[in-house]
């Protein structure tokens, strides 16, 4: 450790690190707009400039390495005035429509304007004007609100390996856009929504249309069923000031009932169902010389990624629908039959940590006849907005349980919310399917944690199963390239589109940092540790579904309702 | 890949395929370092960068199309529409400015009835404003079809343009 | 091209390099004693230096400037003349000597006589010129000067070149060959001592010694920053790396600068030699020349020179058997001013958008493809052979205490003699503009000189006696820059000029960092407000104009203080320096809504001078607001309430009948 002088106090810094990191650890808040955790600094926004003794100009703390004994002033009048001027320059080219903006209240620009005390329009003049891109089923891009920090461009390329966005043009004419500045729908965008998560303004947001849902709730003839994804209950609280990592599943159920949903289900149930089907499919492939490695299919951004960039690997994808779609299908199939409701009178809503789920719900393969498995997808953020809109006070709620039959889940199904969770659940059940016995220790440590690519060899009966767990599509690309180049040892690969899995999904609360993601992950592990039913095949509701309706995994009924297929996609890539 | 090419839109012209392949073949090594030289070579051979060309260059180098488009739009040199027979460049460097190039530019705009970046309807001229040609000693300077015209005054502009119109008409005849 | 040999028995070539090739070439063969060989070598050398010519030699300057002024027609006329009259003469192309106003230029050397230069020799003047000269009579209307020679007979009554006011104050070290030798001939370069410094460096100096020599000479980067070259080299040389790169920055983007173009067009081998020395000193084996695509002739010359040098084993593997191998790749820029910035330039070579990145890490540590990289300007390389060959003391013998050597300036704008002038540091601005440049033409008064391109500043009359060096330029609010000097007279409006630069900068900003991207755009808006719209001002426009002026200084300071790269940090300079020296002109625009120089057309009033107006009606047709009335062949009139002050009528009137004031 070295010592540096900041605002006349000595603080510690690690040799070679950038100044910003040391400042943050010391509790000195220097604003940033373009800085990204874990990625190299670009020094674009200049918001983090500070005064360093001896330097002729202000220096960006994000990109300035610490030096022993350096003297820094972070909030001198010169530095603060510079920041304020930079912000005012951004505002001079920003539509003043905060009240109508999806990021009203969660906008970094807005809070910076408040923190820096912007009270007048000092700089005026022409503003850039662009068209809003609403072509994607998942995302909306409003380039007028873009401040060109470049975070979306970087996350899309460096984290997700998709690179459908780049800067276009130069100077004040610069915009962020796709190839030929066309709609996201014809680009290679996989709708993961990571760009929304990192966007400091309202330039990127999710497609949000829930009037049909509100109408269905108001319609006495409609049965409205909602399902909540495993990762939502450990993140939604953050929208209401509850610290990251708190599980509020019970309160969430209560809130959803207050909103008027007739049935509240848990996607963890269909996660268990997925394990039954996918586990059986894996065993089947292993035993019958099927295409390996088998790739998981729960994450719709990943599916689109394979369809676009690795079409030759489509046969490797599991044919299982994702838990969201499975639950929609069984609600409109089995549940409708059992409750004697016309499936056309059922409206299925899912609350997902994900924007790609919106795209997935609209896939042609996910519609039987004119009936979609899922009628509407809400992100975690949208649900929070609706809860606020409807005046529901979380503090005044009592925890409630979800509805039968699909409110019941194992803790393995809950693990789906984090990277490695599908794999852990699958290993537990595959072990049982193959050996007829439970594993001695259910915890599969090597597939846990936030690392981008994890591999493990697991003994399932006589078989040594080589598995890999990947999150973040750039990591997936790395692994797929290895396979393309001839790597053959792997049997089963779990891929989650977003780094860390759904707990860090593109539909999650804005302002997520690495610490929050870790806390959410720990919450899921805690639930798994503490609950009784820890394997998917032991979920009594799943067992009943098989005995009453599906028969056995991979049956004809399963195939009709729970499995799907994929197709190669031509996009601008 | 071939499907993408076929559906590449208005940029695709018959026969351009082979020319493009020919240019790409001169850069067998697929390194990003060659991106700008390839864009330059393709523009040299086709006059502009078609949509098809950008998609195929991206494929050739294994780069996302967005990145190729991003690079191409960064530099002044690259064009995305076909150009007139003669490209008229009006230098707006400092020396030219001080010697009245703003009036020269206005005269060219009046003479061609187009704005910078546009091509005349008859396809004879396209107009471009350039930062500095580096012939400051001869300011103000314009070029047309690659020929230099030094010490241009607004009243000389029409005569210059007329000589190229005549050349275009003669060639057509 | 047949590779040149030092003699018939010479075995030197790229495959089998001879360590003594360069020495043999200039002094005769070393590997064998042969009087005939030596004699032959001597006479070939003499011929290459044109110490005497066997038949008339006619040199036509065909640099870009020359061609722009019609040198291609001159050349054709010369060839035509020679062939149609059956005259035994050599017609040769040379680069640009730097007197742009005198282009197209022709030099004629008759056997036994001194070489004479003629200016403004357009094609139509060629026959008369040659008629007269071939009879030994100098046509005094065209002659400029003759070259000094010990042996050749001079012409009576013709100035020596070093007496000509354009050349007398110059110290030509970098431009020594420009306009004199044939740039397409490696032989002529070799005959004038070319590649001797490289040979000396490779054969008898260690890389560390070369770094020391250059550091000791006091050579500072000629691209504008003025960083000590030797020190920069040492930074890169001490980085452990499997590969280092050398980059030549020939992206001469400053409007008003064209010295690098002329240097490469006129003497391309000197660049290669300088680069080889630098590469050897820093341990690089590969170099890139990043050159503007707008310079096709320079690129052609450079390609030719590289091919020649390779063919003669002066580039490539194991140069002169020294064990040093060196390769040069030409990369054409694609038109982005910001690529003159080091890190942007590197990104551009790598095939990316030319956007700068934060430094540190500096390119010397982490540059091209992540490897230690030294980036030097063209002119920096041109200085190296002299330093290595003549020693650092020789180099430092001219210049000032902190700025050693000479600098090439590109003189343009409202000055009588435009062109390239190489002067020792410490020469005053006045000497360059008034002695070399011949002052302001048309009896107008000098107002300011813009130094250093868009990043530079404007110096007024009171700074004319400032000695040109890095420090004094900076103290006066300008920068050395790459060496563009644009002269302005009383007809230039300084507010308009500031606006011109701001327009340039905001278009050329890469768009990455906010202060530069948004700030320059707002500054342009403020300046536009000031210089436009007297009639169109409605609503709160007046208030906004005042508000803009109020915040302009603050904005300029923040842009300077926070921008990511040098382009942004210096972007407000043209505004700050004009504000500093020409405040009253701003005030006239802001408060009185008047442009004293008469350049901001929206602030002028227009009227027709009845006695000059022929009533042709052209202005009526061109007026966009139908503000001009009058019958044919009768003096016209401008309706003031309809006039929008666009100035079109002034530009279109062929009789100068419209007065703007």
Nearest neighbour of C562 by CB, restricted to A58, A65, A166 = A58
- Please report the domains of chain A, with CATH numbers, ordered by start residue: 2-75 (3.10.20.740), 90-206 (3.30.70.20), 224-562 (3.40.950.10)
User: How deeply is C362 buried, as exposed, middle or buried, from its count of CB atoms within 10 A (0-12, 13-18, 19+)?
Assistant: middle
Which long-range contacts (C-beta less than 8 Å, at least 24 apart) are formed by A282-287?
A282/A318, A282/A426, A282/A430, A282/A491, A282/A492, A283/A430, A283/A433, A283/A434, A284/A554, A286/A463, A286/A491
Candidates C70, C64, C89; CA nearest to C79 is: C89
Tokens of residue A23, six digits? 């400042």
Does the distance separating the beta carbons of A78 and C561 come in below 8 Å?
yes
Interface contact flag, C562 A57, Cβ < 8 Å: yes
Q: Is C553 a member of any domain?
A: yes
* SS3 at position A497: coil
Q: For the sheet with C327-333, list strands across it.
A: C327-333, C286-292, C245-250, C373-377
- The model's confidence at residue A573, banded by pLDDT at 50, 70 and 90, is confident
DSSP state of A401: P
Do C562 and C500 belong together in one domain? yes
Tens-place pLDDT, residues A388-405? 999 999 889 999 999 989
Q: Cα angle vertex C8, ends C6, C13, to 5°?
A: 60
pLDDT on residue C427: 96
ipTM for the complex shown? 0.93
Taking the domain B86-172, which CATH number applies? 3.40.30.10
Residues of A in contact with B65 (CB under 8 A): 179-180, 572-573
Tell me the chain C residues in contact with residue A85 when contact means C-beta distances shorter than 8 Å: 515, 519, 554-555, 558
pLDDT tens, A508-554? 999 888 999 999 999 999 999 999 999 999 999 999 999 999 999 99
**Percent of chain C at pLDDT exceeding 90:** 80
Strands A367-368 and B142-144: unpaired
Q: Do A168 and B70 touch (CB under 8 A)?
A: yes
Cβ-defined contact of A89 to C525 (cutoff 8 Å): no
> Are the C-beta atoms of residues A349 and A289 closer than 8 Å to each other?
no
Cis? peptide before A405, omega within 30° of 0: yes
Residue window 509-538, chain C: list those with CB within 8 Å of chain A.
509-515, 517-522, 525
Q: Check whether residue C204 and residue C128 sit in a common domain.
A: no
Name the phi and psi angles at C449, rounded to 5.
-130, 135
For residue C410, list its beta bridge partners. C420, C484
- Find chain A residues with C-beta within 8 A of B67's C-beta: 157, 163, 166
CB neighbour list of residue C303: distance below 8 Å, 6 or more residues apart: C330
- Of the pLDDT bands very low, low, confident and very high (cuts 50, 70, 90), residue C2 is low
Pair of tokens at residue A476 = 């997936």
Query: Mutate which of B53, B64, B68, B80 to disrupt the A interface (most A C-beta within 10 Å)?
Result: B64
pTM for this entry: 0.93
pLDDT band for position C496 (cuts 50, 70, 90): very high
Residue owning tokens 């020594």: C176
Burial C156-194 (b: 16+ CB within 10 A, else e): eebbebeebebbebbbbbbbbbbbbbbbbbbbbbbbbbb
Nearest to B67 among A166, A180, A570 (CB): A166
- Give the C-alpha separation, C317 to C13, whole Å: 11
Axis-axis angle for helices C378-390, C259-266 (nearest 10): 60
Give A467's strand partners: A456, A492
Supply φ then ψ for residue B126, to 5 degrees: -125, 150
Looking from the CA of A311 toward its CB, the CA atoms found within 13 Å total 7
CA C524 to mean position of chain CA atoms: 27
Q: What is the pLDDT of residues B86-142, one digit of tens each?
A: 999 999 988 899 899 999 999 999 999 999 989 999 999 999 998 888 788 889 999
Please, where are the H alpha helices in C122-179? 126-134
* Whether the predicted pLDDT of B67 surpasses 90: yes
Question: What's the burial of A426, exposed, middle or buried (CB within 10 Å: 0-12/13-18/19+)?
Answer: buried
Q: Where are the alpha helices (DSSP H) in A26-134?
A: 77-92, 108-115
Query: B101, B107, B127, B104: which is closest to B116 by C-alpha?
Result: B127
- To the nearest whole Å, the CA of B170 is away from the closest chain A CA by 38
Whole-number pLDDT of residue C328 = 98
The subunits that touch chain B, with at least 3 C-beta pairs less than 8 Å apart, are A, C
Name the A residues in 542-571 with CB < 8 Å from any B CB: 570
- C527 plus C487 within the same structural domain: no
- Closest partner residue to A43 among C547, C554, C564, by Cβ? C564
Active site residues of A: 278, 281, 298, 318, 357, 360, 365, 502
Same domain, C443 and C561: no
Of C477, C492, C507, which residue sits at a domain end?
C492
Query: What pLDDT was estimated at residue A462?
Result: 87
For C554-599, the DSSP string reads HHHHHHHHH-SSHHHHHTTHHHHHHHHH-HHHHHHHHTS---TTS-
Residue A182: which residues within 8 A CB-CB, separation 6 or more? A572
Angle of CA points A354, A355, A357, to nearest 5°? 75
Residues of chain C contacting residue A147, judged by C-beta atoms under 8 Å apart: 514
Over residues A216-226, the mean pLDDT reads 97
Q: Across all residues in chain B, what is the average pLDDT?
A: 87
| Residue C65 is assigned to a structural domain of this protein | yes
Asked whether the predicted pLDDT for residue B9 surpasses 60, the reply is: no
Judge if C506 and C427 occupy the same domain.
no
Question: To the nearest whole angstrom, how far is the Cα of C348 from the nearest Cα of chain B?
Answer: 8
- The verdict on a CB contact (< 8 Å) between B71 and C293 is no
Taking one residue from B and the other from C, the number of pairs with CB-CB distance under 8 angstroms is 156
Residue C452 is predicted with a pLDDT of 87
Dump the DSSP string for C252-315: --STT--HHHHHHHH-HHHHHHHHHHHHHHHT-SEEEEEEETT-HHHHHHHHHHHHHHHHTTSS
The residue to which tokens 């065993």 are assigned:
A283
**pLDDT, average across residues B29-38:** 95
CB contact under 8 A, B3 and A570: yes
pLDDT beyond 90 at C274: yes
Return phi, psi of residue A455, to 5°: -130, 155
Q: Do C154 and C200 belong together in one domain? A: no
Q: What is the pLDDT of residue B17?
A: 60
* Neighboring chain B residues of A179 at a CB cutoff of 8 Å: 54-55, 58, 64-66, 68-69
Confidence of residue B16 (pLDDT cuts 50, 70, 90): low
Q: Which of C163, C195, C230 is the C-terminal boundary of a domain?
A: C163
Which helix (DSSP H) or strand (DSSP E) does residue A388 occupy? Answer: helix A380-389
Are C271 and C215 within one domain? yes
Query: Is A85's pLDDT higher than 50?
Result: yes
Contacts (Cβ under 8 Å, ≥6 apart) of B167: B86
B117 contacts chain A (CB < 8 A): no
Question: Would residue C209 count as lying in a domain?
Answer: yes
**What span, in angstroms and rounded, lies between the C-alpha atoms of C371 and C241?**
7
Touching subunits for chain C (3+ Cβ pairs under 8 A) = A, B
- Contact assignment for A179 to B65 by CB distance below 8 Å: yes
For residue B130, the distance in angstroms to the closest alpha carbon of chain C comes to: 9
* Residue A132 pLDDT > 70: yes
- Name the pLDDT band for B4 (thresholds 50, 70, 90): very low
| Residue C4 belongs to some domain of the structure | no
Reported confidence tier of residue B1, pLDDT bands at 50, 70, 90: very low
- Pick from B33, B106, B150: CB nearest C349: B33
Distance between CA B103 and CA A420 in Å, rounded? 68
**CATH number, domain at C122?**
3.40.30.10
CA distance C600 to C528: 10
How many domains does one find in chain C? 5
> Could you give the CA distance from residue A331 to residue A267 in angstroms, rounded to a whole number?
12
Query: Which residue segment(s) compose the domain that C627 sits in?
Result: 605-660
For B100, phi then psi, to 5°, come to: 95, 30
- CA A537 to chain CA centroid, Å, is 26
Q: Would you call A120 an interface residue with chain C, using a CB distance cutoff of 8 Å?
A: no
**Token pair of C28, please?**
């005769």
CA distance C151 to C109: 13
Q: What does chain C come to in residues? A: 661
In the block, tokens 């605002």 appear at A7
CB contact (8 A) between residue C518 and residue A78: no
Cβ contacts (< 8 Å) between C295 and chain B: which residues? 134
Q: Is A376 on the interface with C (CB under 8 A)?
A: no
pLDDT at B2 over 50: no
CB contact C215 to B (< 8 Å): no
- Distance from the Cα of B105 to chain C's closest Cα (Å) equals 11
Please report how many Cα atoms fall inside a 13 Å half-sphere around the Cα of residue C588, on the Cβ side. 17
More confident residue, C272 or A462: C272
Among C124, C41, C28, C13, residue whose Cα is nearest residue C78: C124
Q: Nearest CA to A201 among A87, A44, A301, A124?
A: A87
**C290 lies in the same domain as C327:** yes
For A320-334, C20-34, C405-419, C628-642, which range has the lowest pLDDT when averaged over its residues? C20-34
Q: How far apart are CA C130 and CA C127, in angstroms?
A: 5
Q: Measuring CA to CA, how many Å separate C207 from each of C170, C261, C278, C328?
A: 32, 29, 9, 19
What contacts B143, CB < 8 A, 6 or more positions away? Answer: B87, B88, B89, B91, B133, B149
Phi, psi of C197, deg, nearest 5: -65, -40
Cβ contact A66:A15 at 8 Å? yes
pLDDT above 50 for B5: no
| pLDDT at residue B8, as a whole number | 39
Q: Does C233 touch chain B (CB under 8 A)?
A: no
C158 and C275 fall within a common domain: no
Are the C-beta atoms of residues C362 and C467 closer than 8 Å to each other? no
The partner residues of C21 in beta bridges, in order of sequence, read none
C273 within domain boundaries: yes
Q: Where in chain B is the domain with CATH 3.40.30.10?
A: 86-172
Q: In this structure, are C344 and C462 located in the same domain? A: no
Angle at CA of residue A414, ends A408 and A415, nearest 5°: 155
Same domain flag for C154 and C81: yes
Average pLDDT over residues A544-565: 96
Which residues does C150 contact at the CB level (< 8 Å), separation at least 6?
Answer: none
- Model confidence band, residue A370 (pLDDT cutoffs 50, 70, 90): confident
C472 within domain boundaries: yes
- Note whether C466 and C526 are same-domain residues: no
pLDDT tens digits for A156-195? 999 999 999 999 999 999 999 999 999 999 999 999 999 9
Does the beta-carbon distance from A148 to C512 stay under 8 Å? yes
Number of residues that this document lists for chain A: 573
Q: What is the pLDDT of residues C172-183, one digit of tens each?
A: 999 999 999 999
């Amino acid at each position: 450790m070295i010592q540096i002088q900041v605002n006349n106090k000595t603080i510690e810094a690690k040799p070679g690190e950038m100044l910003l990191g040391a400042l943050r650890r010391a509790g000195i808040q220097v604003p940033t707009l373009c800085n990204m955790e874990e990625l190299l600094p670009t020094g674009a926004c200049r918001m983090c400039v500070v005064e360093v003794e001896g330097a002729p100009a202000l220096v960006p703390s994000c990109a300035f390495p610490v030096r022993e004994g350096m003297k820094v002033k972070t909030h001198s009048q010169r530095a603060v005035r510079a920041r304020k001027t930079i912000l005012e320059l951004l505002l001079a080219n920003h539509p003043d429509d905060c009240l109508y903006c999806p990021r009203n209240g969660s906008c970094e620009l807005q809070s910076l304007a408040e923190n820096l005390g912007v009270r007048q329009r000092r700089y005026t003049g022409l503003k850039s004007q662009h068209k809003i891109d609403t072509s994607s089923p998942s995302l909306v891009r409003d380039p007028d609100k873009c401040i060109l920090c470049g975070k979306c461009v970087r996350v899309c390329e460096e984290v997700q390996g998709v690179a459908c966005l780049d800067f276009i043009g130069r100077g004040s004419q610069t915009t962020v856009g796709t190839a030929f500045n066309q709609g996201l729908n014809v680009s290679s965008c996989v709708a993961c929504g990571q760009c929304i998560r990192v966007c400091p303004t309202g330039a990127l947001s999710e497609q949000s249309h829930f009037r049909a849902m509100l109408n269905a709730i108001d319609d006495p003839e409609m049965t409205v069923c909602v399902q909540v994804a495993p990762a939502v209950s450990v993140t939604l609280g953050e929208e209401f000031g509850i610290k990251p990592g708190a599980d509020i599943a019970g309160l969430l159920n209560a809130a959803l009932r207050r909103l008027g949903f007739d049935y509240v289900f848990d996607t963890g149930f269909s996660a268990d169902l997925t394990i039954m089907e996918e586990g059986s499919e894996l065993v089947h492939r292993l035993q019958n010389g099927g295409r390996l490695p088998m790739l998981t299919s729960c994450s719709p951004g990943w599916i689109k990624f394979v369809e676009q960039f690795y079409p030759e690997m489509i046969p490797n994808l599991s044919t299982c629908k994702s838990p969201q779609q499975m639950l929609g299908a069984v609600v409109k199939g089995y549940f409708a039959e059992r409750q004697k409701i016309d499936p056309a009178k059922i409206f299925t809503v899912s609350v997902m940590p994900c924007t790609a789920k919106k795209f997935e719900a609209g896939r042609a393969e996910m519609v039987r006849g004119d009936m979609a498995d899922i009628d509407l997808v809400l992100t975690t953020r949208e649900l929070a907005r609706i809860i606020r809109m409807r005046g529901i006070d979380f503090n005044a709620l009592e925890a409630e349980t979800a509805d039968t039959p699909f409110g019941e889940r194992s803790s393995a199904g809950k693990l789906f919310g984090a990277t490695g969770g599908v794999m852990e659940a699958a290993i537990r059940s595959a072990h049982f399917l193959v050996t007829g016995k439970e594993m001695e220790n259910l915890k599969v440590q090597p597939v846990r944690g936030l690392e981008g690519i994890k591999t493990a060899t697991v003994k399932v009966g006589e078989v040594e199963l080589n598995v890999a767990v990947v999150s973040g599509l750039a990591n997936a690309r790395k692994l797929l390239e290895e396979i393309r180049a001839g790597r053959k040892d792997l049997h089963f690969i779990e891929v989650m589109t977003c780094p860390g899995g759904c707990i860090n999904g593109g539909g999650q609360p804005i302002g997520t940092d690495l610490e929050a993601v870790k806390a959410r992950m720990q919450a899921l592990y805690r639930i798994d540790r503490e609950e009784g039913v820890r394997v998917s095949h032991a979920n009594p509701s799943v067992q009943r579904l098989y005995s009453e309706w599906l028969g056995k995994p991979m049956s004809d009924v399963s195939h009709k309702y729970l499995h799907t297929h994929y197709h190669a996609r031509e996009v601008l890539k | 890949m071939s499907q993408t090419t076929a559906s590449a839109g208005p940029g695709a012209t018959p026969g351009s395929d082979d020319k493009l392949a020919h240019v790409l073949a001169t850069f067998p090594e697929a390194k990003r370092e060659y991106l700008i030289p390839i864009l330059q070579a393709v523009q040299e051979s086709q006059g502009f960068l078609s949509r098809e060309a950008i998609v195929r260059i991206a494929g050739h180098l294994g780069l996302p199309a967005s990145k190729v488009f991003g690079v191409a739009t960064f530099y002044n040199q690259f064009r995305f529409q076909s150009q007139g027979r003669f490209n008229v460049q009006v230098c707006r460097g400092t020396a030219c400015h001080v010697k009245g190039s703003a009036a020269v530019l206005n005269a060219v705009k009046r003479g061609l009835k187009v704005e910078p970046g546009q091509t005349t309807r008859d396809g004879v001229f396209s107009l471009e404003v350039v930062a500095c040609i580096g012939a400051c000693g001869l300011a103000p300077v314009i070029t047309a079809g690659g020929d230099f015209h030094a010490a241009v005054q607004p009243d000389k502009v029409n005569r210059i343009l007329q000589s190229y119109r005549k050349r275009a008409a003669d060639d057509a005849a | 091209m047949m590779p040149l040999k030092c003699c018939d028995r010479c075995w030197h070539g790229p495959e089998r390099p001879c360590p003594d090739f360069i020495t043999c070439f200039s002094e005769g063969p070393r590997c064998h004693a042969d009087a005939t060989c030596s004699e032959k070598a001597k006479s070939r050398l003499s011929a290459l230096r044109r110490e005497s010519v066997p038949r008339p030699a006619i040199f036509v300057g065909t640099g870009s400037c020359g061609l722009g002024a019609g040198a291609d027609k001159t050349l054709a006329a010369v060839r035509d003349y020679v062939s149609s009259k059956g005259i035994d003469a050599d017609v040769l192309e040379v680069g640009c000597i730097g007197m742009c106003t005198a282009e197209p230029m022709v030099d004629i050397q008759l056997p036994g006589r001194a070489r004479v230069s003629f200016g403004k020799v357009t094609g139509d003047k060629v026959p008369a010129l040659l008629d007269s000269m071939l009879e030994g009579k100098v046509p005094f209307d065209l002659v400029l000067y003759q070259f000094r020679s010990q042996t050749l007979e001079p012409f009576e009554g013709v100035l020596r070149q070093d007496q000509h006011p354009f050349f007398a104050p110059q110290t030509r070290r970098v431009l020594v060959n420009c306009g004199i030798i044939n740039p397409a001939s490696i032989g002529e370069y070799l005959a004038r001592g070319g590649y001797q410094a490289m040979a000396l460096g490779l054969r008898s100096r260690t890389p560390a010694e070369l770094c020391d020599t250059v550091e000791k000479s006091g050579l500072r980067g000629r691209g504008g920053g003025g960083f000590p070259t030797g020190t920069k080299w040492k930074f890169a040389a001490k980085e452990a790396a499997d590969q280092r790169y050398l980059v030549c920055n020939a992206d001469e983007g400053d409007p008003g600068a064209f010295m690098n173009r002329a240097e490469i067009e006129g003497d391309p081998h000197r660049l290669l030699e300088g680069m080889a020395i630098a590469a050897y000193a820093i341990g690089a084996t590969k170099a890139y020349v990043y050159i503007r695509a707008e310079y096709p002739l320079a690129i052609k010359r450079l390609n030719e020179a590289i091919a020649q040098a390779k063919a003669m084993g002066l580039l490539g593997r194991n140069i002169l058997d020294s064990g040093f191998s060196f390769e040069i790749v030409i990369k054409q820029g694609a038109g982005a001013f910001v690529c003159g910035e080091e890190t942007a330039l590197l990104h551009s070579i790598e095939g990316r958008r030319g956007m700068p990145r934060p430094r540190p890490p500096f390119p010397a540590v982490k540059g091209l493809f992540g490897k230690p990289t030294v980036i030097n300007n063209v002119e920096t390389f041109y200085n190296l052979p002299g330093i290595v060959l003549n020693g650092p003391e020789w180099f430092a013998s001219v210049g000032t205490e902190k700025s050693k050597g000479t600098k090439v300036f590109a003189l343009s704008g409202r000055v009588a003699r435009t062109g390239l002038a190489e002067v020792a540091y410490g020469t005053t601005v006045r000497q360059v503009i008034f002695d070399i440049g011949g002052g302001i033409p048309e009896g107008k008064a000098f107002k300011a000189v813009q130094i250093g391109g868009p990043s530079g500043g404007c110096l007024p009359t009171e700074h004319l006696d400032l000695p040109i060096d890095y420090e004094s330029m900076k103290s006066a609010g300008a920068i050395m820059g790459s060496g563009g000097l644009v002269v302005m007279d009383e007809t230039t409006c300084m507010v308009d000029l500031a606006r011109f630069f701001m327009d340039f900068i905001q278009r050329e900003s890469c768009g990455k960092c906010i202060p530069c991207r948004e700030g320059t755009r707002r500054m342009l808006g403020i300046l536009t407000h000031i210089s436009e719209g007297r009639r169109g001002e409605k609503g709160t426009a007046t208030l906004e104009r005042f508000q803009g002026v109020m915040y302009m200084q603050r904005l300029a300071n923040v842009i300077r203080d926070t921008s990511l790269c040098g382009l942004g940090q210096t972007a407000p300079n043209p505004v700050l320096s004009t504000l500093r020296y020409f405040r009253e002109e701003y005030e006239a625009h802001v408060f009185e809504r008047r442009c004293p120089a008469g350049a901001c057309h929206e602030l002028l009033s227009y009227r027709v001078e009845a006695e000059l107006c022929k009533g042709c009606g052209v202005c009526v047709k061109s007026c966009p607001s139908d503000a001009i009335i009058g019958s044919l062949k009768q003096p016209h009139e401008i309706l003031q309430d309809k006039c929008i002050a666009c100035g079109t009528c002034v530009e279109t009137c062929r009789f100068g009948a419209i007065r703007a004031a």
